[in-house]
Chains A and B, each alone.
Chain A
Amino acid sequence: MGACLIDGRGFLLPIPYSLNPGPLRYSQKGMAIEQNKNVAAGSGFVYLPLIAGWLVPGAGHFLLRKWARGALLTASILGMFILGIAMQGNLYSGASDILHILGLAGDLGNGLLFVFAKLLGLGADPVQVTTADWGTRFIVVAGLLNVIAAVDAHNLRTGRKS
């Protein structure tokens, strides 16, 4: 039987669950509960690490003072992007068919890297050698990994991840 109160007539009244949740039967460590959110969330714009992490790889983690994680993410994503460019990978620009649209979506995940590479005219348009095809995949995957890293920074900011 759960916790009860005795009213003025001597009847037992059950206490609502919201007032008495009972013993904790599972760990709430790392979950997005109010207590954890209050610990992680300070003042400021909550989406800043997400946006910063998307625009500059690793910046979201740097904002949250996760220096080592941020440095490793920056090195990995930047390294993958630079290798893709060095392999003469293609930077998607048009959206002529579904594959190009998906490729462009992946490339846009690189944030400012994609913009600067486009402005500098990096990357090759026609894929003529095998390594250029691999380079194109490297660039797209770098963008997708950057999106994952930015979402991770957002989760750290909101307290969903410790």
Chain B
Amino acid sequence: MFRPSHFTAVVLFALFASIVFGITQRATTRRMIHYGIYCFVLFVGSAIVLSWLMFLIAR
């Protein structure tokens, strides 16, 4: 059984989803790569920001 940490799961999820988003939502290779990176950063970045927010709220 695969038991990743929460952050590892977030990174894996973001990686796979960003690849599909990049390929399907843009037409040229260059724009696909840019959009994929953009989605990945937003996925992981928003998870980190929301995690800190929840941590501060819970204190």
Residues of chain B lying within 8 A (CB to CB) of residue A86:
1-2
Residues of chain B lying within 8 A (CB to CB) of residue A54:
none
B16 contacts A80, C-beta separation under 8 Å: yes
Interface residue B48 (Cβ < 8 Å from any Cβ of A): no
Interface residue A73 (Cβ < 8 Å from any Cβ of B): yes
**Stretch from A20-28, A42-50, A144-152 forming part of the interface with B:** A144-152
Looking at chain A's contact residues, is the secondary structure mostly helix, strand, loop, or mixed?
helix
Residues of chain A lying within 8 A (CB to CB) of residue B4:
87, 131, 134
Q: What is the CB-to-nearest-CB distance from A92 to chain B, in angstroms, rounded to a whole number?
A: 19
Q: Count contacts on B: residues with CB < 8 A to the other chain.
A: 16
Chain A interface size, under 10 / 10 to 19 / 20 to 34 / 35 or more:
20 to 34
Q: What is the CB-to-nearest-CB distance from B32 to chain A, in angstroms, rounded to a whole number?
A: 8
Looking at chain B's contact residues, is the secondary structure mostly helix, strand, loop, or mixed?
helix
Interface residue B27 (Cβ < 8 Å from any Cβ of A): yes
Interface residue A69 (Cβ < 8 Å from any Cβ of B): yes
Interface flags for A70-87 (1: CB within 8 Å of B; 0: not) read 001101110110010011
| Contact A72 B19, CB 8 Å, known A83-B2, A87-B1, A88-B1 | yes
- Measured in the bound complex, the distance between the Cα atoms of B33 and A77 in whole Å is 18
Which of the residues A79, A152, A161 comes within 8 Å of B16, measured between beta carbons?
A: A79
A134 contacts B23, C-beta separation under 8 Å: no
Residues of chain B lying within 8 A (CB to CB) of residue A75:
19
- Supply 29 A–B pairs (Cβ within 8 Å), ascending by A: A72-B19, A72-B23, A73-B23, A75-B19, A76-B15, A76-B17, A77-B20, A80-B13, A80-B16, A86-B1, A86-B2, A87-B1, A87-B2, A87-B3, A87-B4, A88-B1, A131-B1, A131-B2, A131-B3, A134-B4, A137-B13, A141-B13, A145-B16, A145-B20, A148-B20, A148-B24, A149-B20, A149-B24, A161-B27
Chain A residues packing against B (C-beta within 8 Å): 30, 69, 72-73, 75-77, 79-80, 83, 86-88, 129, 131, 134, 137-138, 141-142, 145, 148-149, 151-152, 161-162
